[in-house]
Amino acid sequence: MKPKHSCITLFFFISTISLPFLVSSQTCQRTCGQIPLKYPFGSGPGCGDPRFQKYVTCNDQKFTFTTHTGCYPVTNIDYTNHVIYITDPSMSTCACTQPSKGFGLDWDAPFSFHDDNVFTLLDCSINSSPIYKSNNAYNSSAVPFCDKKGASICSFLYSCRAISMLNLPISTCCVYTPVDLGPSFEMDLQKLQCSSYSGFYSFSGQDYNPENWKYGIALKYKFNVYNDYPSSCANCEKSNGACGYSGAYDTFICSCPSGVNTTTDCYFEASFNNAPRLLPLQTEKVLLQSDRCILFSISTTAGRLVHISSILIKYYRIWNS
Ligand SMILES: *[C@@H]1O[C@H](CO)[C@@H](O)[C@H](O)[C@H]1NC(C)=O
Ligand SMILES: *[C@@H]1O[C@H](CO)[C@@H](O)[C@H](O)[C@H]1NC(C)=O
């Protein structure tokens, strides 16, 4: 069994060099903290859909949504209904009030407000805020109105201790729904002359209990004009890959658990008995092939070493089991 012995030596040589790189070799991650990452979201540049990458990224296992008004932690994603839930740390809730500059979506981002969102502007200046001046006849369409039907929401919010302690007249509270946000999708509190806001997307079935409302912002997203899920990506995800893109034309790639990128899916990694399928996907040349050992030429880059060694480890495990 001499060939096997030299093969093992080589295996150790390669794996020792590249072991530090082996930790999480999949370029595009499939989770960020507790949140599963699926199309169109990705963990970083080259991952997910290029239209979304700019706005949503994973840093230090924290999934963050970015707009021109700030960075917001993503709390959940409903992939079935295409809704992403975020929180705004500067937002007031039943438990805590604080000053805020507001919230806005970038006009060119593939997101819009979910209909379930309710925003309440708090502590708006009755004398100078445009929300109270908007009833003048000639300019009424330029500025939003407070939703008078939402007045009860203000009453409930005022039952929260934190908000009642602000000691403000309830007339300075304005319920503001996304339809009113205007074409710039902007809730600019400085312009509106309000000192803070609160937002929630669910009453949790307890309209009368603002303590249990779900505070945060729900945003809808659309993949593209037809909102269809690319089938190439579905296959990639089914095979434990993560969808990404590369090159000048943002061509689809599937980032596989071993660190290899393919143009299809990662099923080849699960079926190692089917060695010929693997070969076209590798840029490394096969120098020598015996029935017990495959020797790849060792390319100089660390990235390639990672590919080779992780594949060799899998071969080694299968052949020795
Ligand atoms: C795989 O694709 C990702 C995303 O485009 C890229 O960052 C990474 O460098 C690629 N890896 C290899 C080995 O080509
Ligand atoms: C209408 O509103 C806009 C923005 O609020 C303001 O710039 C403009 O001067 C107003 N026009 C009139 C006639 O008041």
- Quote the pTM value: 0.72
- Cβ neighbours of residue 85 closer than 8 Å, sequence gap 6 or more: 74, 75, 76, 77, 78, 201, 216, 217, 218, 219
For the stretch 69-102, pLDDT in tens is: 999 999 999 999 999 999 999 999 999 999 999 9
Residue 302: per-residue pLDDT: 52
| Three-class HEC string of the chain | CHHHHHHHHHHHHHHHHHHHHHCCCCCCCCEECCEECCCCCCCCCCECCHHHHCCEEEECCEEEEEECCEEEEEEEEECCCCEEEECCCCCCCCCCCCCCCEEECCCCCCEEECCCCEEEEEEECCCCCHHHHCCCHHHHHHCCCCCHHHHHHHHHHHCCHHHHCCCCCHHHCEEECHHHHCCCCEEEHHHHCEEEEEEEEECCCCCCCHHHCEECEEEEECCCCCCCCCHHHHHHHHCCCEEEEECCCCEEEEECCCCCEECCCCHHHHCCCCHHHHHHHCCCCEEEECCCCEEECCCCCHHHHHHHHHHHHHHHHHHCC
Ligand 2 center from residue 318 Cα (angstroms): 74
The finding on whether 137 has its CB within 6 A of some atom of ligand 2 is: no
- Counting ligand 1 atoms within 8 A of each CB, the residue from 53, 251, 261 with the most, and so the one to mutate, is 261
Q: Is the CB of 142 under 6 A from ligand 2?
A: yes
Pocket mutation for ligand 1, best pick of 26, 27, 58 (most atoms within 8 Å of C-beta): 27
Residue 155 beta carbon below 6 angstroms from any ligand 2 atom: no
Per-residue pLDDT band for 297 (boundaries 50, 70, 90) equals very low
Calculate the average pLDDT of the chain.
79
Each residue's pLDDT tens digit, 164-193: 888 888 888 988 876 566 555 778 899 889
Ligand 2 atom closest to the Cα of residue 142 is 2
| 78 Cα: distance to centroid of ligand 1 (angstroms) | 27
Cα-to-centroid distance, 39 and ligand 1 (Å): 16
Average pLDDT over residues 236-256: 95
